[in-house]
């Protein structure tokens, strides 16, 4: 069988550059070299695209872009090229691709932008498409669609523009404290504040508007956070449910990537019936948001055992320690099998 050439895109101009490097390292390392010719394609923090041919450990320690193994390279939107244009001194060479795996988080990576470029180029892309990626980045749009599909979401109001103190008080008068104030489009807990009383509202809203032009203010859900890994296009594979045990206010950036003060339980400490309800809800949400390939669906389980939707991560953290692969390991898939299956799912459609 002919090897497939697959570009793994990593880095990117997002706050989540670092975690992307760690995920890409694990994915590149685990892909079967007899089956795939992997082309690491890095995007630096300042937005330069470089094809990287060096040791993959230098991706993990973020010294890859300073090495001699980089050449300027871009994915061409030209369908005839169907791949990467690499600058080699004063020559440009083409490198056709069978698929691309964007291991990018946040803006321009997880929001439909890169998916759009790959779609114009006609290159099969691992994971969710343009619409689904964009919807899942927008906490307001995602909540509306998930609600329409019959899954509960936190009571919330959305601000389309910064508001005066009195407007803020007015708009939030029906919500019960504590509240979460968040940018509508962001990730990794950036710009999010949990507030206990109205005196903190204006400052929290200001912070959220630093990250996006819209803010969402939600009632805090009293319960704990559960996640579910979903994989597939038409037929879905649903992983085990996991649970985040928090030792303070919420799951912030430091917790997510260091597990400093929070603990992940996989499987979650819940009964079998609750676990199957969560898995069913995850599948409903995945369909409602038009997901394909893979996604991690994050929900809350209230003290009354009710499931409330939080968000979908269309390119979740993907290191050997990450929640997404661990939940699928819970049903017997290895990390390498998951990565392999994702490329198959992307290419079977083309
Ligand atoms: N309505 C809510 N109720 C309780 N906790 C919340 C709520 N919204 C957010 N959180 C907490 O804040 C964290 C980050 O919020 P989330 O909406 O997942 O944003 P991000 O996209 O940055 O991950 C969540 O993991 C959770 O700990
Ligand atoms: Mg989250």
Counting ligands in written order, the one closest to the CA of 15 is 1
Closest atom of ligand 1 to CA, residue 218: 1
CATH architecture assigned to 135-153+222-347: 2-Layer Sandwich (3.30)
Ligand 2 centroid vs 341 CA: distance in angstroms?
25
What lies within 8 Å, CB to CB, of 70 at 6+ separation is 42, 50, 51, 52, 53, 54, 64
Helix (H) or strand (E) holding 218: strand 215-219
| Candidate from 137, 188, 192, 196 with most ligand 1 atoms within 8 A of CB, to mutate | 192
Query: How far is Cα 244 from Cα 250, in angstroms, rounded to an integer?
Result: 10
| pLDDT recorded at residue 15 | 84
Q: Cis bond leading into 178, ω under 30°?
A: yes
Sign of CA pseudo-dihedral 121, 122, 127, 130: positive
pLDDT digits (tens, 9 = 90+) for 71-111: 999 999 999 999 999 998 899 999 999 999 999 998 889 99
Residue nearest to atom 13 of ligand 1 (CA): 251
**How distant, in Å, are the alpha carbons of 118, 171, 220, 300, 303 from that of 223?**
40, 25, 9, 6, 5
CATH architecture assigned to 156-219: 2-Layer Sandwich (3.30)
Q: With both helix axes pointing from N to C terminus, report the angle between 113-121 and 130-137 in degrees, rounded to the nearest 10.
A: 180
* C-alpha closest to that of 136 among 159, 161, 115: 115
Q: Where in the chain is the domain with CATH 3.30.1490.20?
A: 156-219
State whether CATH 3.90.75.20 applies to domain 4-125: no
Residue nearest to atom 2 of ligand 1 (CA): 220
Residue list, ligand 1 pocket, CB within 6 Å: 154, 180, 182, 186-189, 192, 218, 220-221, 225, 250-251, 298, 310-311
Counting ligands in written order, the one closest to the CA of 139 is 1
| pLDDT recorded at residue 14 | 87
Residue 350, pLDDT above cutoff 60: no
| pLDDT recorded at residue 251 | 63
Q: Where in the chain is the domain with CATH 3.40.50.20?
A: 4-125
* C-alpha closest to that of 74 among 106, 120, 42: 42
| pLDDT recorded at residue 189 | 76
Q: Where in the chain is the domain with CATH 3.30.470.20?
A: 135-153+222-347
Residue nearest to atom 10 of ligand 1 (CA): 250
* C-alpha closest to that of 299 among 249, 236, 241, 248: 241
Residue 30, pLDDT above cutoff 60: yes
Residue 260, pLDDT above cutoff 60: no
What pLDDT band is residue 119 in, cutting at 50, 70 and 90? very high
Helix (H) or strand (E) holding 230: strand 223-232
Residue 250, pLDDT above cutoff 90: no
Query: How far is Cα 150 from Cα 228, in angstroms, rounded to an integer?
Result: 18
Residue nearest to atom 8 of ligand 1 (CA): 180
| pLDDT recorded at residue 186 | 73
**How distant, in Å, are the alpha carbons of 112, 151, 247, 284, 299 from that of 277?**
30, 11, 26, 11, 12
Location of structure tokens 């912030």 = 252
Counting ligands in written order, the one closest to the CA of 216 is 1
| Candidate from 223, 248, 250 with most ligand 1 atoms within 8 A of CB, to mutate | 250
């Amino acid at each position: 069988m002919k090897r497939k050439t697959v570009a793994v895109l990593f880095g990117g101009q997002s706050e989540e550059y670092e975690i992307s490097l760690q995920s890409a390292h694990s994915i590149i390392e685990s892909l079967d070299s007899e089956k795939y010719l992997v082309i690491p394609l890095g995007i630096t923090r300042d937005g330069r695209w470089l094809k990287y041919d060096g040791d993959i450990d230098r991706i993990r320690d973020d010294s890859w872009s300073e090495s001699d193994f980089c050449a300027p390279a871009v994915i061409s939107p030209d369908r005839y090229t169907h791949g990467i244009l690499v600058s080699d001194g004063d020559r440009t060479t083409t490198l056709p691709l069978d698929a691309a795996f964007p291991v990018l988080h946040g803006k321009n990576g997880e929001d439909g932008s890169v998916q759009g470029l790959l779609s114009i180029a006609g290159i099969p892309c691992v994971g969710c498409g343009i619409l689904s990626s964009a919807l899942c980045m927008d906490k307001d749009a995602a909540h509306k669609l998930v609600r329409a599909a019959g899954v509960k979401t936190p009571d919330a109001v959305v601000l389309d523009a910064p508001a005066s103190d009195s407007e803020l008080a007015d708009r939030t008068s029906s919500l019960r404290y504590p509240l979460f104030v968040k940018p509508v489009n962001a990730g990794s807990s950036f710009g999010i504040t949990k507030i206990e009383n109205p005196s903190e509202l204006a400052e929290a809203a200001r912070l959220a508007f630093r990250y996006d032009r819209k803010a969402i203010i939600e009632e805090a859900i009293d319960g704990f956070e559960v996640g579910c890994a979903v994989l597939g296009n038409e037929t879905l594979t649903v992983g085990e449910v996991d649970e985040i045990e928090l030792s303070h206010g919420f799951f912030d950036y430091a917790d997510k990537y260091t597990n400093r003060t929070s603990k992940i339980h996989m499987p979650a400490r819940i009964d079998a019936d609750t676990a199957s309800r969560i898995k069913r809800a995850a599948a409903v949400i995945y369909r409602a948001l038009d997901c394909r390939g893979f996604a991690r669906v994050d929900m809350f389980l209230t003290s009354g055992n009710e499931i409330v939707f939080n968000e979908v991560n269309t390119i979740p953290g993907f290191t050997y320690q990450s929640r997404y692969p661990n939940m699928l390991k819970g049903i017997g898939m290895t990390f390498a099998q998951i990565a392999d299956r994702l490329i198959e799912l992307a290419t079977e459609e083309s």
